């Protein structure tokens, strides 16, 4: 396979987002926009990825490194245009073999197939291939000036004539070159334009002038939409979710109300899973076959085993792990805990930093008291144990297999297997005392009125 260096440009400030967060770090489907671009570059077969950012973009560099540790970083200290930004990656493209693709970093719906639309043209013999599309409204986009299949130039909207602005075929977000052609032309770009900047798109005209073969590939409009403001961010999220919903339903997942279910980029759901309305899947979720996710549940960083049941109104936080046939019911929160095969945590309960064995029954209102103000501690409940309602298990503590914890107990010491544990005050009854208390209260109230 031909070597591919992808240079991602993310040095812009994105001021139209009106945010302290850099534009390309705003998430779509739970992943930063720039992460989607890098992922698409990987899908296309990139052997190296360069990221060009601005001087105040440490957060961008850290976010991309977390997703792709081998990305090589470069900095554009002065904003002089896209060609100038791409030239910052000279240390890589000066020795690159094969192809160089330059891509803008604010396109969250980009896919590897969009890269292939231009890379395949290079495979077919072109020296330069630019990705194009036909938007419903071409205003603001650079226009393709063509002669048949040959791309003669890209005219930025501000520099285009009225006739050129009528052209529907527009510049998208990927420019691909044979590496030697890119090296030869990148430093020949000049600033003869309305912005007095070094335009990457000027490489098209330069390549034609040098006798190179220049053409283009095409992409659907939705795939190449850029994000510049909050409205476009919301639209990108909506388009992303629509694609994910369709993909899951085609794969055998039942979505009772597709529009109300929200997925992350890495959500994994097996066939014959049923998802009821108003469910949110955060990053890092895997759902096994036959599970049911009831309405109004929120799941993040969790695994739900085969035929398990979650919700309604349940919250699974990171490292929640539900075994086969387990049940987590309404108003239950699970965090960093294993819920064993067939175990039931039915309602109004918090289980954190715990291991709950197979077949355990956790009553309503049970709490694992896992935090002492400084450290988290673990609770272990053995197979087949029964934890009565409103019990508090003060970690670190172990309840043995088959044990019974009486309702309302506060358990601070380990419970042996098959033992009964009671950790509550003895009930005391005082005949007639309630009547005396109520009478005294009524008299006090009447005395206030008499004054």
Average pLDDT over residues 83-88: 95
Binned at pLDDT 50, 70 and 90, residue 86 comes out as very high
What integer is the mean pLDDT of 344-364? 97
> In this model, does residue 151 exceed pLDDT 80?
yes
Q: What is the pLDDT of residue 427?
A: 85
pLDDT band at 1; cut points 50, 70, 90? confident
Lowest mean pLDDT of 11-15, 199-203, 209-213, 312-316, name the range: 11-15
Percent of the chain with pLDDT over 70: 100
pLDDT of the residue at 401: 97
Query: 371 forms bridges with which residues in the sheet?
Result: 376
Task: Determine which one of 294, 298, 303, 347 is catalytic.
Answer: 347
Percentage of the chain surpassing pLDDT 90?
89
pLDDT of the residue at 158: 86
- Specify the pTM: 0.89
* Arithmetic mean of pLDDT, 248-267: 98
Range among 9-23, 56-70, 154-168, 193-207 rated most confident: 56-70
Distances from the Cα of 260 to the Cα of 238, 250, 278, 279, 280, angstroms: 11, 17, 5, 7, 8
Query: Distance between CA atoms of 168 and 137, rounded to whole angstroms?
Result: 8
Neighbouring residues of 186: CB distance < 8 A, sequence distance ≥ 6: 83, 86, 87, 93, 203
User: How confident is residue 450, by pLDDT bands cut at 50, 70 and 90?
Assistant: confident
* pLDDT of 370 above 80: yes
Nearest alpha-carbon partner for 205 in 166, 140, 159: 159
Residue 121 has pLDDT above 90, yes or no: yes
Q: Indicate if the pLDDT at residue 40 is higher than 80.
A: yes
- Return the pLDDT at 197: 87
User: 122 falls in which pLDDT band (50, 70, 90)?
Assistant: very high
Res. 46 pLDDT band, cuts 50 70 90: very high
Q: What is the mean pLDDT of residues 334-351?
A: 98
Least confident residue range of 119-123, 379-383, 429-433:
429-433
Per-residue pLDDT at 140 exceeds 90 = no
| Closest C-alpha among 26, 240, 78, 226 to residue 140 | 226
pLDDT at residue 32 is higher than 90: yes
Local confidence band at 451 (pLDDT 50, 70, 90 cut-offs): confident
d(C-alpha 304, C-alpha 317), whole Å: 12
b or e along 268-288 (b: 16 or more beta carbons within 10 Å of the residue's beta carbon)?
Answer: ebbeebebbebbbbbbbbbbb
Distance from C-alpha of 311 to C-alpha of 328, rounded to nearest angstrom: 6
Looking at the predicted structure, is the pLDDT value of residue 425 above 90?
A: no
73 is catalytic: no
Q: What is the pLDDT of residue 424?
A: 87
d(CA 12, CA 106): 10
Task: Classify strands 392-394 and 410-411 as parallel, antiparallel or unpaired.
Answer: parallel
- Distance in angstroms (rounded) separating the CA atoms of residues 250 and 216: 32
Average pLDDT over every residue of 151-167: 90
pLDDT in tens, 161-219: 888 999 999 999 999 999 999 999 999 999 887 788 898 999 999 999 999 999 999 99
CA distances, 451 to each of 52, 166, 440, 445 (Å): 80, 88, 17, 10
Q: Which of residues 425 and 1 earns the better pLDDT score? A: 425
Over residues 332-351, the mean pLDDT reads 98
Which is it for strands 420-421 and 404-405: parallel, antiparallel or unpaired?
parallel
Phi, psi of 4 (to 5 degrees): -135, 120
Query: What per-residue confidence (pLDDT) applies to 191?
Result: 82
The overall average pLDDT reported for the chain is 95
By mean pLDDT, which of 7-21, 255-269, 298-312 is the weakest? 7-21
Give pLDDT tens digits for 384-416: 999 999 999 999 999 999 999 999 999 999 999
Average pLDDT of the residues in 348-366: 98
């Amino acid at each position: 396979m031909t070597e591919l260096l992808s240079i991602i440009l993310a040095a812009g400030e994105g001021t139209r987002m009106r945010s302290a967060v850099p534009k390309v770090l705003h998430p779509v489907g739970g992943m930063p926009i720039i992460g989607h671009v890098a992922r698409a570059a990987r899908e296309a077969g990139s052997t190296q990825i360069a990221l060009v950012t601005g001087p105040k973009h440490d957060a961008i560099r850290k976010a991309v490194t977390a997703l792709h540790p081998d990305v090589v970083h470069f900095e554009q200290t002065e904003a002089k245009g896209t060609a100038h930004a791409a030239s910052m990656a000279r240390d890589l493209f000066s020795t690159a073999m094969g192809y160089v693709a330059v891509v803008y970093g604010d396109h969250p719906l980009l896919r590897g197939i969009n890269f292939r639309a231009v890379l395949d043209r290079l495979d077919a013999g072109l020296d330069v291939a630019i990705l194009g599309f036909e938007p419903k409204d071409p205003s603001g986009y650079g226009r393709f000036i063509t002669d048949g299949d040959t791309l003669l130039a890209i005219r930025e909207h501000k520099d285009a004539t009225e006739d050129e602005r009528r052209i529907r075929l527009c510049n998208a977000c990927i420019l691909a070159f044979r590496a030697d052609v890119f090296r030869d032309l990148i430093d020949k770009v000049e600033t003869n334009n309305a912005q007095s900047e070094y335009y990457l798109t000027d490489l098209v005209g330069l390549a034609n002038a040098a006798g190179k073969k220049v053409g283009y590939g095409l992409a659907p409009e939705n795939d190449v939409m850029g994000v510049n403001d909050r409205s476009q961010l919301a639209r990108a999220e909506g388009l992303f979710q629509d694609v994910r919903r369709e993909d899951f339903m085609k794969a055998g997942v039942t979505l009772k109300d597709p529009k109300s279910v929200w997925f992350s980029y890495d959500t994994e759901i097996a066939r014959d899973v049923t998802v009821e309305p108003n469910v949110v899947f955060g990053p890092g979720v895997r759902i096994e076959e036959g599970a049911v996710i009831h309405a109004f549940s929120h799941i993040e960083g969790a695994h739900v085993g085969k035929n398990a049941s979650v919700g309604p109104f349940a919250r699974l936080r990171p490292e929640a792990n539900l075994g086969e046939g387990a049940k987590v019911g309404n108003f239950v929160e699970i965090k960093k805990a294993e819920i064993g095969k067939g175990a039931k945590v039915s309602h109004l309960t918090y289980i954190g930093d715990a291991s709950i064995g197979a077949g355990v029954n956790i009553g309503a209102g049970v709490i694992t008291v896992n935090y002492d103000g400084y450290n988290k501690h673990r609770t272990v409940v053995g197979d087949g144990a029964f934890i009565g309602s409103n019990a508090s298990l003060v970690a670190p503590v172990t309840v043995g297999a088959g044990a019974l914890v009486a309702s309302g107990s506060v358990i601070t010491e380990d419970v042996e297997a098959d033992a009964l544990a009671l950790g509550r005050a003895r009930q005391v009854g005082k005949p007639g005392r309630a009547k005396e208390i109520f009478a005294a209260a009524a008299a006090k109230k009447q005395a206030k009125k008499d004054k």
